[in-house]
């Protein structure tokens, strides 16, 4: 049957019918809010390229986490700005490091909020790379040992989940092994499995003070031209013990999210990264787009592509709109 009997516009006539046949819905349970934590007290440094986001000291983080809990956002992911940086990023696994303190503060303030920690070294190394430098490049096998120590120290501080974002080979295996050998076999790993060498991370590097001092991250993060390789990355991470696999960035890589979703029966997360956020905020400020509508369309598109979870700087904005029943 075709036109004139078939008319697809019949199911688009009003909002009620559109809601009834809509295939994808955004839910508050899909959202993970990234937060930046810094030493000090009473610190709430605005991040210029990310309006509405701040570097927060622990006391400010406690206020923020209460708001997160009240909004019903299920989880946060933490990034730390350390006091001291060195060649190997040793503050990353320090017992009293910034993230370790932050985890305890959150668990003490709002125990139901799930705490995920980003596991990487770029915030902690003096050179800003995601691992230890040897011969001008990041050395894989010594880096994964440090990452395992970092993940373990997050678990010891009370993290509910760890999320390695470094893109070293074998790091999920090394982290899973360290957790299992130390009584943390119940702690899941969300791996940044298909993480691209993207220019969309610019605002984040300002927020986390983690831009590389020389070169770039293309010897470890994925080439934007590749798609089959993303499936190999995801497959290996699952074999090594990943429980949730992530694609990052989200919007320019919706095709990758869909391929991963169709290929692997595992929860898929997508990271709607800093540059994706900043672009919408900037265009909104200029009065060029309706920021709220573009945000909702963006998040819905990421879900429609196949993501189960979305890490997004819009989490609070989206949660408010969902709570008000405006979508």
Looking at the annotation, which residues are catalytic?
195, 248
Closer Cβ to Zn ion, 122 or 159, answer by number = 122
Which of 8, 17, 4, 24 minimizes the C-alpha distance to 257? 24
Site string for ligand PBG, 193-232 (x = CB under 6 A): --------x--xx-----------x---------------
**122 interacts with ligand PBG by CB under 6 A:** yes
The residue number whose beta carbon is nearest to ligand PBG equals 204
Residues 256-275 that bind ligand PBG (CB under 6 A): 273-274
Kindly tell me the burial class for residue 218, based on how many C-beta atoms sit within 10 Å of its own C-beta (0-12, 13-18, 19 or more): exposed
Listed ranges 102-110, 113-121, 191-199, 278-286: which one lies at the site for Zn ion (CB under 5 A): 113-121
Residue 104 contact, options Zn ion, ligand PBG, none, Cβ 5-8 Å cut-off depending on partner type: none
Are the CB atoms for 322 and 291 separated by under 8 Å? no
Number of amino acids touching ligand PBG (CB under 6 A): 12
Residues 115-144 that bind Zn ion (CB under 5 A): 120, 122, 130
Would you say how long the chain is, in residues? Answer: 327
Tokens of 326: 């405006």
| Total residues at interface with Zn ion (CB under 5 A) | 3
With the C-alpha atoms ordered 153, 159, 162, 165, is the resulting torsion angle positive or negative? Answer: negative
Q: Which stretch binds ligand PBG (CB under 6 A): 51-59, 117-125, 154-162, 182-190?
A: 117-125
Strand spans (E) along the chain: 31-38, 44-46, 54-56, 75-81, 114-119, 133-134, 137-138, 161-164, 190-195, 244-248, 268-272, 309-312
Residue 165 in contact with ligand PBG, rule: CB under 6 A: yes
Question: Do the beta carbons of residue 160 and residue 143 sit within 8 Å?
Answer: no
Interacting residues with Zn ion (CB under 5 A) = 120, 122, 130
């Amino acid at each position: 049957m075709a036109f004139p009997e078939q008319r697809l516009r019949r199911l688009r006539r009003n909002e009620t019918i559109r809601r009834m046949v809509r295939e994808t819905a955004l839910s508050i349970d899909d959202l993970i809010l990234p937060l930046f934590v810094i030493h000090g007290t009473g610190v709430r440094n605005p991040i210029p390229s990310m309006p509405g986001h701040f570097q927060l000291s622990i006391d400010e983080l406690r206020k923020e986490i209460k708001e997160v809990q009240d909004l019903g956002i299920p989880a946060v992911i933490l990034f730390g700005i350390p006091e001291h940086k060195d060649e190997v990023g040793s503050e990353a696994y320090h017992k009293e490091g910034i993230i370790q303190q932050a985890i305890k503060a959150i668990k003490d303030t709002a125990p139901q909020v799930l705490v995920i920690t980003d596991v990487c070294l770029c915030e902690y190394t003096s050179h800003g790379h995601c691992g230890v430098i040897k011969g001008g490049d990041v050395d894989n096998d010594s880096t994964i040992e440090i990452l395992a120590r970092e993940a373990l120290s997050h678990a010891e501080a009370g993290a509910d989940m760890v999320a390695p974002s470094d893109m070293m080979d074998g790091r999920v295996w090394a982290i899973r092994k360290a957790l299992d050998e130390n009584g943390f076999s119940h702690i899941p790993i969300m791996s940044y499995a298909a993480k691209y060498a993207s220019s969309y991370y610019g605002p984040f590097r300002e927020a986390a003070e983690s831009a590389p001092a020389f070169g770039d991250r293309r010897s470890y993060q994925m080439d934007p031209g590749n798609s089959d390789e993303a499936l190999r990355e995801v497959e290996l991470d699952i074999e090594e013990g990943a429980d949730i696999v992530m694609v990052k960035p989200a919007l320019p890589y919706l095709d990758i999210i869909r391929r991963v979703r169709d290929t692997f029966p595992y929860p898929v997360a997508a990271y709607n990264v800093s540059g994706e956020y900043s672009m919408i905020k900037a265009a909104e400020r200029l009065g060029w787009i309706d920021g709220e509508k573009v945000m909702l369309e963006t998040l819905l598109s990421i879900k429609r592509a196949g993501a189960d979870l979305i890490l997004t700087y819009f989490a609070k904005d989206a949660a408010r709109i969902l709570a008000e029943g405006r979508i």
